């Protein structure tokens, strides 16, 4: 824990120091000239001569609280997939069930400001895949991350990888969601207690999200998006990358379309992912029908025809009136019913998008 707190010593330098000296204790006992020969930054050298033991005591106090765990690389509970990435975190702080980190996982990431369609897509994919035995991993951020966690909690388990230490929840609005995740899965971080909130923490966190999982699903991402960083890291780590296509008029689809052009697998249903991961996932539950892919037999024919007329892109009432040859009042009334029942979502600009048929 003391070595983890040394400034200028990330996972790569941490691993090299342990390899060179054999233990963290030996690093602190080493002669200053020897340490200087390893080209460590001055901030690290100064720290190693005067470690902040008070902060280490805070870490130990956190560890004594119920539900808190610390996993070293040699801990049998350390997730094996994460151990395989380049310079894995030497220590993992876990709040919740550390054993779930070894289960087959799919990461779901995307925009922090998704459309209602994107949010619903992430939630439905997560719910169905969790019911089939995959553990859903994401980053507790606004938007797609939160939708993925919420969907997974309806029928399975989920892990939130934090860009902060586990003694705080960021964003604070997700405190209740974080507690629910810890009860059904785990909160995970490589940062010790009291770690300051820094923009650089989140790309570092993203390599854990992809490293824990068999694959990464991207749902709505702009052309310049942090989710694309996670996808790139997944490719570098040898993981599968999946992307949900969208309308060519939706700027949040551009990142997904770029990934597909670069070789990511286009997915339309949860089965597309399950078929691809197959034996890798070794899911434990029988795969049932994907509610986002199958037509509903409970809708009247007029409503079913309206949903078919909507197509796969957001559409306005005027165009639906033209396609269905119904009055504007009738279409508006039907859309309201369909929205209340979860078949469509209203989109800013007076448009509606289909969620399921």
Query: What pLDDT is stored for residue 283 in this prediction?
Result: 44
Mean pLDDT for the chain overall: 89
CA distances from 22 to 17, 42, 180, 230, 312 (A): 8, 22, 40, 32, 58
pLDDT digit string, tens, across residues 185-236: 999 999 999 987 888 888 889 999 999 999 999 999 998 888 999 999 999 9
| Cβ contact 188:89 at 8 Å | no
Average pLDDT over residues 319-330: 86
Query: What pLDDT is stored for residue 284 in this prediction?
Result: 38
**Is it the case that residue 278 has pLDDT exceeding 90?**
no
How many whole angstroms separate alpha carbon 219 and alpha carbon 111? 7
Domains and CATH numbers, the chain: 1-51 (no CATH), 98-281 (3.40.50.450), 301-354 (1.10.10.10)
Average pLDDT over residues 86-113: 95
pLDDT digit string, tens, across residues 16-57: 999 999 999 999 999 989 999 998 999 999 999 999 999 999
From 88, 80, 132, select the one nearest 106 (Cα to Cα). Answer: 132
Query: What pLDDT is stored for residue 356 in this prediction?
Result: 55
* pTM > 0.75: yes
């Amino acid at each position: 824990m003391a070595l983890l707190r040394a400034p200028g010593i990330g996972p790569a330098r941490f691993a090299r120091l342990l390899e060179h000296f054999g233990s963290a204790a030996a690093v602190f006992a080493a002669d200053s000239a020897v340490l200087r020969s390893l080209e460590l930054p001055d901030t690290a050298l100064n720290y190693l001569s005067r470690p902040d033991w008070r902060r280490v005591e805070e870490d130990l106090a956190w560890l004594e609280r119920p539900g808190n765990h610390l996993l070293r690389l040699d801990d049998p509970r350390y997730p094996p997939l994460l151990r395989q990435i380049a310079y894995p975190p030497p220590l993992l702080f876990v709040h919740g069930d550390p054993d779930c980190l070894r289960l087959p996982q799919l990461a779901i990431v995307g925009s922090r400001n998704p459309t209602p369609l994107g949010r619903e897509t992430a939630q439905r994919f997560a719910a169905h895949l969790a019911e089939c035995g995959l553990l859903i991993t994401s980053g507790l951020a606004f938007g797609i991350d939160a939708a993925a966690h919420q969907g997974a909690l309806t029928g399975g388990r989920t892990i939130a990888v934090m860009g902060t230490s586990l003694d705080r929840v960021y964003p604070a609005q997700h405190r209740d969601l974080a507690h629910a995740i810890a009860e059904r899965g785990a909160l995970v971080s490589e940062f010790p207690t009291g770690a300051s909130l820094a923009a650089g923490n989140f790309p570092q966190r993203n390599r854990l999200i992809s490293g824990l999982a068999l694959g990464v699903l991207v749902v709505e991402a702009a052309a310049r998006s942090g989710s694309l960083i996670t996808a790139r890291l997944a490719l570098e780590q040898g993981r599968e990358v999946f992307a949900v296509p969208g309308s060519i008029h939706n700027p949040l689809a551009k990142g997904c379309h770029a990934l597909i052009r670069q070789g990511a697998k286009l997915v339309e249903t949860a089965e597309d992912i399950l078929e691809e991961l197959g034996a890798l996932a070794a899911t434990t539950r029988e795969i049932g029908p994907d509610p986002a892919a199958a037509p509903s037999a409970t809708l009247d024919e007029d409503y079913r025809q309206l949903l078919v007329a909507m197509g796969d892109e957001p559409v306005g009432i005027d165009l639906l009136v033209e396609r269905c040859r119904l009055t504007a009042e009738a279409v508006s009334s039907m859309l309201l019913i369909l929205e209340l029942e979860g078949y469509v979502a209203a989109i800013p600009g007076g448009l509606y998008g289909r969620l399921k048929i």
